[in-house]
């Protein structure tokens, strides 16, 4: 087992059990205690855990601080985001392996799939935390560098975790949707991770509320043809509805579920 796989498994255990023991992990993975301590050092630097004598505990303060920062705060578009989460959940089938990207809209997707049996891959530690108590869901958090002031994991470790996996459905949140600039996000580092997810996925689904249309963020993820499905709200501008229709891109809106 590679270090990145071992660390991902340690994260899964921490999310469920809140604590880990060096000796138990050493036996579980058939590696030395020194190797396990290196793994814990790496996860501690990410802010995922706090080392203790003989083991480590989940850094729950980190999750609480991220939540208080407003990442899951209710705002004026919250009902629309909640409905997007419900629509996305209808697309997920038992046995699927799905990816859920960071963001408040995608967090709503996680909140609506808790009764399913599937594998969820995410580079958002809040989404991982949201799913920690779901017995039917195997949650894999990519690892990587924690993006400042967010719950997103980026960088080489995140990319490495995606190297040898394949996804049935990828739910991708974006910050901007525009005819000229395509789908955009806030940072280039996010593009690197999401682009790899898109290449690994059979079905790419954009999940974005109506406020993201006619807006351009900093970094381009791709043009409007990179996904054949889009989940949004009935307030999507008419010209985009027409574009999706003419290009055989299915637009799912809250109108259909009201």
- pLDDT, one tens digit per residue, over 161-189 is 999 999 999 999 999 999 999 999 999 99
Q: Identify the structural domains of the chain with CATH numbers, from first to last.
A: 3-58 (1.10.10.10), 74-257 (3.40.50.1360)
pLDDT of residue 72: 45
pLDDT tens digits for 212-223? 999 999 999 999
If the chain, 258 residues long, is cut into consecutive pieces of 10 residues, what is the mean pLDDT of each piece? Answer: 80 85 94 94 87 90 62 54 94 97 94 96 92 93 84 91 94 97 96 97 97 96 98 95 97 74
pLDDT of res. 74:
40
C-alpha to C-alpha distance for 206 and 253, rounded to whole angstroms: 12
Average pLDDT along the chain: 90
Q: Helix/strand/coil (H, E, C) string of 72-100?
A: CCCCCCHHHHHHHHHHHHHCCCCCCEEEE
Contact between 58 and 14 under an 8 Å Cβ cutoff? The reply is: yes
The per-residue pLDDT for range 75-103, each reduced to its tens digit, is: 443 688 999 999 999 999 999 999 999 99
């Amino acid at each position: 087992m590679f270090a990145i796989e071992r660390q991902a498994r340690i994260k899964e255990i921490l999310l469920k059990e809140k604590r880990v023991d060096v000796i138990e992990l050493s036996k579980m993975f058939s590696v030395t205690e020194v190797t396990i301590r290196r793994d814990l050092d790496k996860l501690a630097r990410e802010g995922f855990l706090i080392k203790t004598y003989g083991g480590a505990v989940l850094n729950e303060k980190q999750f609480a601080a991220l939540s208080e920062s407003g990442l899951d705060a209710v705002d004026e578009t919250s009902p629309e985001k909640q409905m997007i989460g419900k629509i996305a959940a209808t697309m997920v089938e038992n046995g699927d392996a799905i990816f859920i990207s960071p963001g408040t809209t995608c967090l709503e997707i996680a909140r609506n799939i808790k009764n399913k049996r599937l594998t969820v891959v995410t580079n958002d530690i809040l989404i991982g935390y949201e799913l920690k108590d779901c017995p039917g869901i195997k949650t894999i958090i990519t690892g990587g560098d924690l993006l400042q002031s967010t719950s997103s994991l980026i960088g080489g470790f995140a990319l490495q975790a995606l190297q040898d996996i394949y996804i049935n459905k990828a739910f991708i949140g974006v910050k901007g949707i525009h005819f000229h600039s395509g789908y955009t996000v806030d940072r280039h580092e996010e593009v690197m991770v999401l682009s790899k997810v898109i290449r690994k996925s059979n079905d790419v689904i954009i999940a974005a509320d109506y406020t993201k249309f006619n807006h351009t963020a900093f970094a381009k993820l791709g043009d409007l043809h990179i996904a054949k499905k889009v989940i949004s709200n009935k307030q999507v501008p008419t010209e985009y509805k027409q574009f999706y229709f003419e290009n055989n891109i299915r637009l799912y809106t809250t109108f259909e579920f009201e």
